[in-house]
Structures are given as structure tokens and as C-alpha cells.
A and B are shown apart, each in its own frame.
Chain A
Amino acid sequence: MAGLWNGFILADELTTPDLTADDVRHIAALTRLGLSDDELETMRGQLSSILKVFESLQQIDTEGVEPTGHTTEIRTVLREDKAAESLQRDGILKNAPESEAGYVKVRPILG
């Protein structure tokens, strides 16, 4: 498969350093994603090689180029503020692992 990548990685020298285990731990904490030690090490290697693939972008001149968020030219969509029927509460709550008195039940997150 390596041959398929020849046209893709343009950088002559790959300079992005490998992620450290602490880097991966930090991102995992940000995304509230538990990882076992084995998983952490596998991810560290795989994420490092994926980041190297991104290096080619740095060679493109984007000075003054507007970023694109999505491709339709739709701006803020407005509509009349009118009450209408919404989804039934029971149908939503029966999906929650825990619910009580018409609410989704969540553990305390403060204090």
C-alpha cells in the first residue's frame, strides 16, 4: 500500500514529532474517553502517523483565504416564532438510562 501514498505526502522531510503518552492522555481527558494502557499506546502510534500526513497542508499558501465551514451559501435561516407540536416526552425519556418525574436523571456534577 505504501506506493499509493507517494503522491500524497509532499513534504520532503517529516518534522511533526510523535505524540507523547501524556499528549494522548490529555486529549482523552478533553473528550471524556477512557482508554486502557494498551489502547493508549496503540493510539499514540497511529495518531502520530496520521498527524504526519497532515504536514503537506503547511506547504499551501492560504494567506488571506477565507475558511469554508460548509458549502451551501445559506446564512442564518429565520422563521416565524410560532408554537407547534413537539416530540412526545415519553418517547424521549424511555431512551434515557435513568429518568425520574419527567426528567433525565444525572448524577451530581458539582461539589
Chain B
Amino acid sequence: MVNSEVSNGSDLTGITAHEAQEFLTSGKVSSVELTEAVLARVDELEPQIHSYITVTREEALTAARTADEARDAGKAEGPLAGIPVMVKDNLSTEGVATTAGSKILLGYTPPYDAHVVSQLRSGGAVIIGKGNLDEFAMGSSTEHSAFGATRNPWDTDRVPGGSSGGPAASVAASECFISLGSDTGGSIRQPAALCGIVGMKPTYGLVSRYGLIAFGSSLDQIGPFSRDVRDTADTLSVISGHDRRDSTSINAPGQDFARALTGDITGMRLGIPSEYLVDGMEPGVKAAFEKSLETLEAMGATLEEVSLPLTDQALAVYYIIAPSEASANLARFDGFKYGTAVNDVPTAWDVMDQTREQGFGSEVKRRILIGAYALSAGYYDAYYKKAQQVRTLIIREFAQTFDKFDALVTPTSPTVAFKAGERMDDPVAMYLSDVCTIPVNIAGLPAISVPGGMSEGLPVGLQFIGPQMGDGTVLKIAHAYEQATEWHRLKPTL
């Protein structure tokens, strides 16, 4: 069944974080009350949605009480103070189980917080729990979680997208105000599009990856989900900034991204890459996209079609580089250091073979094997090195394009949310869900997906891609577009 209705905004859990912050500041509501309301919503909806792997009820209420005390003492500062948030379960949380959606990490409790989790905590945010994901963030539907699939709040017969399906569905269903996901090839933007919310992948290196369970280290980036662009900008301000524990962290001063949100995009030059309008794009998605272009033009932006001929190669580059890096990153799961292990076998080699056979799901195995093959003797030059060279060419192609344009505008996904089970047994079809998002990770660029229309009662996402460190630019354009439209106000009926 398809659910769709314009929210009347009266429900406390359905407002934005900055609206909730106003309530907290004016004393209309306390963080404990806000947290209790969200926990009640979680209890009510989780049987249908399953966006959480772990709900940290007691820890959340303690954090909420601390936030209220800080506010009473005049010490509550920042946009997330007292706000209930969720983090994807591949982000390490000290003392709270972290599974990455995999059986192999059952029983693992990190002895430290990921950098972004520390940033949330020191910003006074209330962490409600850990979000469901495709195992080790490998997938586009959140059906590949060892802890069961997440469903789309707009239609529970459909997937929420992935791999950050839990964090996306949770924000869409008002089971938290803000969440953090990770995006290696579209894992924030595609589920944001399919769930009708805002999701952003920042410039590679803007947000520290310390404590993120690595998938493809040169592609992974952490970013926010929220119900409007302002909340995403505020959250990015909290989680970004230099961290010496991540050697790829960009050493630049912190920024207040909300300052970029002027609402005015007059004279901005937007490119429309023709290669992103792939054959097989659903007509409803294409129609919504064309309508969005008219809106942007009416707002004073200059639109022009542009060609990025290497787009077709980006998917192949990605499906060599990401699995290659994954095969190396996932070598650490050997049954000795953490998680579950098969120990009733004769030798150390058997422990490894059996632990990995039983602990990893089929998508993870597939990617480890393809990556190891691409890196193996005799194939390295033809696959891995070739992919890295084409990656250089893709980066150059984008750089040349940004000489002429402030940002690019594309659909986020060629389809709306698909039916659960539909693409499970066809990895190649599943990989295609990310065709509009993958090139961005190859080049390390910032990109954001915002609600950009509806098709057959389901949300359609609109993506803005910026040049490296153009995070403020994409936020500014996305915010202006959002304020000129009503799509972000639509909410699923649950």
C-alpha cells in the first residue's frame, strides 16, 4: 500500500531539528520529553519499519537529562543540543554493540567512539540507537543485513534504498530527527531519495572516518540525513573538521554551513549532465526532474546541458576499486580479535575459513572475491591499475566541467523505491541503483539529494553535485530549491 499525505506539523516527532531546538530553547519542551516521544514512536513503528538494530533507551534518557541540566545551567550550545539522533551501525560507539549489519561482529563492543560520535556527544546530541544497513554497507536496498531488512515508510512492501536504509527510513518515519550514514557509492543519497528526505555526502576528507568500519577507504564518507536542508547544514557543521586520527582528513578550519543558506541562486550556473539521464530511467522520475529544472530556471539559475562522456565507465571503475579496498579492509575479520568465531575446528586456518564462511553474507563474499581477483597477480594491471587510471580521467573531466558550472543537477536514482526481493538475486541490476551517485565518490566530490517530486505516490530525489570543497555551494542551491517547493513537507502516513 502507498502512503502519502501532507503533514499538518502538529506531531512533536515530525518537526525538524531546528524547530525542535526552538521548542527546547523556549522551554516549551525538554530534551527528556522529546526523547520519550521519539522512543514511543520507535516502539510503535519498529515492527513495520525495522530501521534500528539497537535502541539505546537508557543511555538516551541519561543523555537527555544531561542536556536538560546543561540547558538549565545556561550551557546548552549548538544546533543539536538535546536533539535525538541515530547513527548507522558501522559507526563505532563506545560500550554499545556495533555490528556493521554482519553476523561476524556479533558480540563486538567498541572500546572507543568514532570521531563523528564524539562530535555529536560533545554537541549535546542524544543518541537513540544504531541504524540498520546492508552488511558492511554493501548494497542498495538494506535487504543484505544479517539482522533483517528495513522497509520503506512510504510503502512497506518496498525497500528504503541502501546501504544506509535504517538511518534514512528512521528520519522519514520520524523515529529520530537526524541520523548519520556513510556513502561509498550513493549509500546516503540513494536511500534519502527513496525515502523522501535530505541526505548529503560531503567532500572526501571533510568528515573524519576515524571509527567508521571501513568498506572502500578511498570512497567512504560520513554524512547526515534530515527532513530539511537547514538540519543537514547544521549537522555537517557539528561533525566536520580536521581530525589527526584520519590521515585523509582535510586540515581546514571548521565552518558554519548554515551561513551558506541565503535562499538566492540568481545567476548561478547549473550543468545538466546528459549521461545521467540513462536509458531505463522511469518516466515519472524523468518528469519530476524536468519539472525541477523549470523551477530552478524560474529561480534565476542558468541551466545548460553538458556532456561527461566517462560517466559510463564510472560504474566499472567503482566495482573494481570498492571491492578491492573491501577485500583488504575485511581481512581483519579473522575470528581472533573480535566478534564471533568458529573455534571447534583443528587449526588456525580452519578458524579463519569457517569464521568467514559462516560470518559473512553472500554479497560481502561476492565483493571480497571480486576485489581479491582484481588485485591478484596477473590481473592487477588490467583491473585495479586500469581502474585507478580511469579514475584520474574522471576527476579531470569533473574539474574541467566545474570551470564552467557552479554545480551539476541530476536525478539521484533512475527509479523510485523498488519492491523488496525484486533485485536480491541479480547483483548487476542492484548495482545499477547507484548509477547517478557513484561518479561523485570516484572524484571525492560533495553532493546532496533533496526531495524533488513524486512518482506513483513515491518520492523522487534531486541531486546537486559540487566541486571539491563546494559543500556550501550544494547546500545553498539545495536549500533555495527546497524553500521554493513543497516536496520536503510531504510525509508518509504511518
A-side residues, CB < 8 A to B, are 1, 3-8, 10, 23-24, 27-28, 30-36, 39, 42-43, 46-47, 49-51, 53-54, 56-58, 60, 62, 65-72, 74, 77, 79, 87-88, 91-92, 94-98, 104-109
B340 on interface, CB distance cutoff 8 Å:
yes
Query: Separation in Å of the A19 CB from the closest CB of chain B?
Result: 8
Report B283-309 residues with CB < 8 Å from chain A CB: none
Question: In this complex, what residue of A is CB-closest to B360?
Answer: A33
Nearest Cβ in chain A — how far from B250, in angstroms? 6
Contact A62 B244 (CB under 8 A): no
Judge if B484 is at the interface, Cβ distance under 8 Å. Answer: no
- The stretch of B20-28, B104-112, B223-231, B257-265 in contact with A is B104-112
Collect the chain B residues with CB atoms within 8 Å of residue A7's CB: 275, 278-279, 312
- Which residue, of B111, B352, B444, has the highest number of chain A Cβ atoms within 10 A? B111
**A71 and B443 form a contact (CB under 8 A):** yes
A4 smallest CB distance to B (angstroms): 4
Contact between A33 and B313, CB atoms less than 8 A apart: no
Question: How many residues on chain B are close to A (CB under 8 Å)?
Answer: 79
Using a CB–CB cutoff of 8 Å, the interface residues on chain B facing chain A are 107-109, 111-112, 204-205, 217-218, 244, 247-248, 250, 275, 278-280, 310, 312-313, 315-317, 319-320, 327, 331, 334-341, 343, 347-349, 351-354, 356-358, 360, 362, 365-366, 368-370, 372-373, 376, 382-383, 385-393, 395, 414, 423, 426-429, 432, 435, 443-444, 468
Name A30's contact: one of B109, B217, B376, B435 (CB within 8 Å). B376
Cβ contacts A to B, 16 pairs, < 8 Å: A5-B432, A7-B279, A8-B435, A31-B331, A34-B356, A34-B357, A50-B427, A54-B316, A54-B319, A58-B386, A70-B444, A87-B112, A96-B336, A96-B338, A106-B336, A107-B348
For the complex, what is the distance from the CA of A108 to the CA of B107, rounded to whole Å? Answer: 24
Please give the distance in Å from A88's CB to the nearest CB on chain B.
Answer: 6
Q: Is the CB of A57 within 8 A of B316?
A: yes
A65 with B389: in contact, given A7-B312, A8-B312, A88-B111 (CB under 8 Å)?
A: yes
Whether the Cβ atoms of B111 and A62 lie closer than 8 Å is no
Q: Are A68 and B392 closer than 8 Å at their CB atoms?
A: yes
Shortest CB–CB separation between residue A53 and chain B, in angstroms? 6
Contact: A56 with B312, CB < 8 Å? yes
* CB-defined contacts of A109 to chain B, threshold 8 Å: 347-349
Interface of B is mostly: helix
Would B390 and A3 count as touching, CB distance under 8 A?
Answer: no
A79 touches B244 (CB 8 A): yes
Q: In the complex, A26 Cα to B18 Cα: how many Å?
A: 55
A13 CB, min distance to chain B CBs, angstroms: 17
Q: Which residues of A contact B340 (CB under 8 A)?
A: 97
Q: Which residue of B lies closest to A97 (CB)?
A: B341
- Given A30-B372, A70-B218, A95-B337, are A62 and B393 also a contact pair (CB < 8 Å)? yes
Question: Could you tell me the distance in whole angstroms from the C-beta of B431 to the nearest C-beta in chain A?
Answer: 8
Q: When the two chains form their complex, are residues A1 and B362 in contact, meaning their CB atoms are under 8 A apart?
A: no
A71 touches B218 (CB 8 A): yes
Tell me, in angstroms, the Cα distance from A105 to B335 when the chains sit together: 11
A85 to chain B minimum Cβ distance, whole angstroms, is 12
Report yes or no: A31 in contact with B372, Cβ–Cβ below 8 A: yes
Given A67-B388, A97-B336, check contact A49 B428 (CB 8 Å): yes
